[in-house]
A and B are shown apart, each in its own frame.
Chain A
């Protein structure tokens, strides 16, 4: 009976360790994707309009720099 109890407890502890490991891989993935989304949001927030301006200034026919700022 004692051996059965120890066997049971061993089984439980093994299962517990595996569950903790599985959780951490899913958690790790979630954390990583949240981190990338946050960084992507900041990059888009600051960089989207400068990106459009850079693409526009390099398109044909190439506009001059003063045309960006002057109201004419």
Chain B
């Protein structure tokens, strides 16, 4: 069964392996490079978890040259703060965020700073062809609320490994290997010094031209399964199942993703009684209109947002 359909959905597939559809023997020494371990649920996340927001959002990105751009973003709306009660507690906030991006094939720097002094920084640097360094940090003025993480990724011919160091003595390592052209399996271990926790997890991903199925289990009690079916170029359906066997928490969600010429519409419904939809409409070249809605019937929380993105 494997090898009948050449893999077409992995971004790292060499164009030379996209041979015409015929029965070919799997060359186990020439497998494609798998996608990174943390992106294993990528298709399901893209379809089922759009960036929902509440209130007004306005983003303006101004490019100064091919690689360098500045972004200005205004947000006005209620922000939910975690509360003990079943109802959501919201605090109205407004902020302005300034950002600068420098995107080069070898080096990518993204920085965003808010009016309250919070900085979020991301760096991605390709040290050699196969080794890359990624770092991200969220820095605040409040003490003990900042975190940072640095990752070293090594990409082999048909495997990837990653080492992670974070503040609070967080160490992690992950490894993913292509077993057949469609199937890749991987595992990860992590150790959090500050909370004295350690864990181990396994994940698998099976993909063909038309579908992607992934599964992940971790010793923290999390089991996550997802399935995405691509019905056509424009439509894909996704479903997701998350189960925590320690806290006996279950969530299942089903959603759709329509990628049309002028818009992208994503909708989902949850087993927690939550439905959400997200529309990005292209009004003109570089002008996008965004509508976001999330209705949580259980918590009686209704969030509607609208926004405009320029550039």
Contact = CB atoms under 8 A, between A and B. Distances in A.
Interface stretch (A8-16, A20-28, A55-63): A55-63
Interface in B69-111: 70, 98-102, 104, 109-111
A56 B64 contact: yes
B310 to A, nearest CB: 10
Contacts of B70: 68
A52 interface: yes
Give the secondary structure class of A's interface: helix
Interface string A14-58: 000000000000000000000001000100110011011101110
Give the secondary structure class of B's interface: strand
B64 A48 contact: no
A4 to B, nearest CB: 44
B139 A41 contact: yes
B189 interface: no
B67 A49 contact: no
Contacts of A41: 139, 146
B171 interface: no
A55 B69 CA distance: 11
Contacts of A48: 109, 111, 119, 121
A2 interface: no
Interface in B35-70: 60, 62, 64-65, 67-68, 70
The interface size bin for chain A is 20 to 34
Interface in B120-141: 121, 137, 139
A45 B64 contact: no
B70 to A, nearest CB: 7
Contacts of A59: 65, 67-68, 102, 104
B113 interface: yes
Given A41-B146, A53-B100, A67 B121 contact: no
B111 A52 contact: yes
Contacts of A49: 98-100, 111, 113, 119
A55 B119 contact: no
A67 B100 contact: no
23 contacts: A41-B139, A41-B146, A44-B137, A45-B117, A48-B121, A49-B100, A49-B111, A52-B102, A53-B100, A55-B68, A55-B102, A55-B109, A56-B64, A56-B65, A59-B65, A59-B102, A59-B104, A61-B65, A62-B65, A63-B65, A63-B68, A67-B64, A71-B62
